[in-house]
């Protein structure tokens, strides 16, 4: 047992959760919870000091969370990954209290009769953090927490366009693209050119590369300070909406919503 002291351990067990209380689980959750807007990334020493744990205990918790993918390390700094959002997926889909982005997706979906999603980049995938679909089936997407490959999706290309050139090159070097449809772009040179075009024009239109019969248009969502935090898209079956209609009708709506949200994303 770590040097918390046997008396302290007994006291915690008695006052907080009884004999079945898991100190290790509590520490792991505490480590996740200590990150905030003011503490987006921390060293091991800073984290241990902030949470009141011995360095060895904090190190074990961080090692476990890193191994599971909830925390990542760059140099001496640790920070949360988007995988933490998966812990909230069940809550977000079952709790009636709406988040900031969910009502936007629902409103846009109702107004234009198309699926609307918000996603973040995690590894080689994008993960949905808000989503709304028309009543009739539009996509095989399953909602919050659903993943799609970043390289062949509109959401993913918007997020990849926000990477630094060196990080984009690293992503493409490690990528082993697999065709999701007959139209999936697999050539890495062409992919890089497509992503750089998205960076230049400020949106991505992907036609049946991630899913047969489905096309999607996405724009970046930025914080008040201009940093990219997510991407938002509208998508529909190809027989319902042409690329020209998406650019004419969907793009201005997405851009307007992104502009409004920028002042609220902190």
Same domain, 64 and 105: no
Same domain, 89 and 68: no
Same domain, 60 and 138: no
Same domain, 143 and 117: yes
Over residues 50-68, the pLDDT tens digits come to: 989 999 999 999 999 999 9
Same domain, 60 and 125: no
Give me the pLDDT at residue 5, please. 44
Beta carbons of 181 and 212 less than 8 angstroms apart: yes
Question: Within a 10 A sphere around the Cβ of 262, how many other Cβ atoms?
Answer: 16
Choose the final residue of a domain: 46, 80, 114: 80
Residue 1 lies in a domain: no
Same domain, 117 and 232: yes
**Total number of domains in the chain:** 2
Return all residues near 213 (Cβ < 8 A) that are at least 6 apart: 237, 238, 239
CATH of the domain at 53: 1.10.10.10
Same domain, 112 and 155: yes
Give me the pLDDT at residue 18, please. 77
Choose the final residue of a domain: 50, 80, 110: 80
Same domain, 106 and 229: yes
Q: How many residues does the chain have?
A: 266
d(CA 2, CA 49): 15
Same domain, 76 and 90: no
Measured between alpha carbons, how far apart are the two ends of the chain, in Å?
40
Same domain, 60 and 113: no
Alpha helices in the chain (DSSP H): 6-12, 23-34, 44-51, 55-68, 85-94, 101-112, 154-161, 165-174, 188-201, 243-245, 251-262
The segments of the chain whose pLDDT lies below 70 read 1-17, 89-99, 135-142, 266
Domain that residue 258 falls in: 84-262
Residue 12 lies in a domain: yes
Closest CA to 123 of 149, 158, 95, 97: 149
Beta carbons of 33 and 42 less than 8 angstroms apart: no
CATH of the domain at 171: 3.30.450.40
Give me the pLDDT at residue 138, please. 41
Give me the pLDDT at residue 135, please. 64
Same domain, 112 and 218: yes
What does the radius of gyration of the chain's CA atoms come to, in whole angstroms?
A: 21
Question: Within a 10 A sphere around the Cβ of 205, how many other Cβ atoms?
Answer: 18
Choose the final residue of a domain: 80, 98, 114: 80
d(CA 129, CA 132): 11
Bridge partners (DSSP) listed for residue 115 = 235
Same domain, 102 and 72: no
């Amino acid at each position: 047992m770590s040097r918390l002291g046997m008396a302290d351990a007994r006291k915690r067990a008695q006052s907080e959760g009884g004999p079945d209380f898991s100190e290790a689980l509590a520490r792991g959750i505490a480590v996740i919870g200590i990150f905030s807007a003011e503490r987006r990334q921390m060293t091991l020493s800073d984290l241990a000091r902030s949470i009141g744990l011995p360095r060895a205990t904090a190190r074990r918790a961080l090692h476990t969370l890193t191994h599971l993918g909830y925390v990542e390390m760059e140099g001496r700094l640790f920070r949360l990954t988007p995988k933490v959002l998966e812990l909230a997926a069940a809550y977000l889909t079952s709790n009636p209290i709406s988040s900031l982005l969910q009502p936007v997706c629902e409103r846009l979906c109702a107004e234009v009769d198309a699926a609307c999603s918000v996603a973040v980049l995690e590894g080689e995938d994008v993960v949905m953090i808000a989503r709304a679909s028309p009543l009739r089936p539009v996509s095989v997407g399953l909602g919050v927490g659903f993943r799609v490959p970043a390289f062949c999706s509109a959401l993913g290309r918007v997020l990849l366009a926000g990477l630094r050139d060196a990080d984009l090159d690293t992503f493409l070097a490690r990528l082993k693209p697999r065709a999701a449809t007959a139209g999936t772009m697999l050539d890495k040179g062409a992919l890089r050119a497509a992503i750089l075009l998205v960076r230049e024009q400020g949106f991505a239109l992907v036609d049946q590369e991630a899913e047969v019969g489905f096309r999607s248009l996405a724009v970046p969502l930025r914080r008040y300070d201009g940093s990219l935090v997510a991407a938002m898209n509208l998508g529909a079956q190809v027989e319902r909406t042409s690329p020209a209609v998406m650019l004419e009708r969907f793009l201005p709506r997405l851009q307007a919503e992104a502009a409004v949200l920028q002042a609220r994303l902190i």
